[in-house]
Amino acid sequence: MKTITIIGGMTGILLAVLAYFAEIQNWIGMEAILTVGFIGYVLIITAIAYFLLSWMYKGSKKLEML
């Protein structure tokens, strides 16, 4: 699951950067830029949320052992 999340997060970063450069260079229409950028941001936020929840779950397991 972590591998899929890392790939998703990297893809999100790539899409967000691509949307940023497309907006600067006026490569494609504004609607497409917003869609690609939004999808990238969703992937980034999802990856961060997964790793934060995983980290919190591991921390709670350590506290239960004490």
Contact 44, 11 (CB under 8 A): no
Per-domain boundaries in the chain: 2-65
pLDDT in tens, 25-53: 887 777 888 888 999 999 999 999 999 99
Q: Is the pLDDT of residue 66 over 90?
A: no
Output the pLDDT for position 27: 78
Q: What are phi and psi of 53, to 5 degrees?
A: -65, -40
Are 43 and 4 a contacting pair, CB within 8 Å?
Answer: no
Q: How confident is the model at residue 23 (pLDDT cuts 50, 70, 90)?
A: confident
**Whole-prediction pTM value?**
0.80
